Amino acid sequence: KYDGDITFADVVARCPIPVIESNKQLTRGYTDGKKIWISQYIPDAQKICVLFHEMAHYNLHFDSDRNELTSATKELEAEAISYMISAAIGITNDESAAYIRSWVGNNSHELIKNKGTKLIHTAQKIIDDLDIVGLLETKE
């Protein structure tokens, strides 16, 4: 269970992508493929989850085939990856299921079919980029 030992600042310090805390209340997070903005108005654990979500978009949805995927598929992929990484560090993101449903309804099983390897590899890349294992070891 997440105990707050790992802070948003800890994760940002290891992030290879520039991260900006935003004062915009309309969105929790956003990336343009160059930088990531995270709302300053959400709790630390949610900021971490949103950062993982935006890092997934950064890694998956800014290449030459980005227009081949629907917005719903992109959001499903990013949130699934965020959920996996968050769970790995002890954050239970109770909002993930509702967020995915808001984009894809009850169609998530169809959209996620055959994406397991892609999602796991991207989650592993983000874990490696952030050196999550090293971060967890420093907090023990």
The string of pLDDT tens digits covering residues 27-69 is: 899 999 999 999 999 999 999 999 999 999 999 999 867 788 8
Tell which wins on pLDDT, 21 or 110. 21
- At residue 121, does pLDDT exceed 90? yes
Q: What does the pLDDT average to over 124-136? A: 93
Quote the mean pLDDT of the chain.
Answer: 90
Count CB atoms within 10 A of the CB of residue 38. Answer: 25
Between CA 56 and CA 48 the distance in angstroms is: 12
Q: What does the pLDDT average to over 77-106? A: 91
Query: Residue 39 has what pLDDT?
Result: 95
Kind plus residue range of the DSSP H or E element containing 87? helix 71-88
Query: Residue 1 has what pLDDT?
Result: 54
- At residue 16, does pLDDT exceed 80? yes
Q: How far is CA 96 from CA 40, 74, 76, 99, 100, in A?
A: 19, 14, 9, 5, 6
Query: Residue 58 has what pLDDT?
Result: 96
Query: Model-level pTM?
Result: 0.91
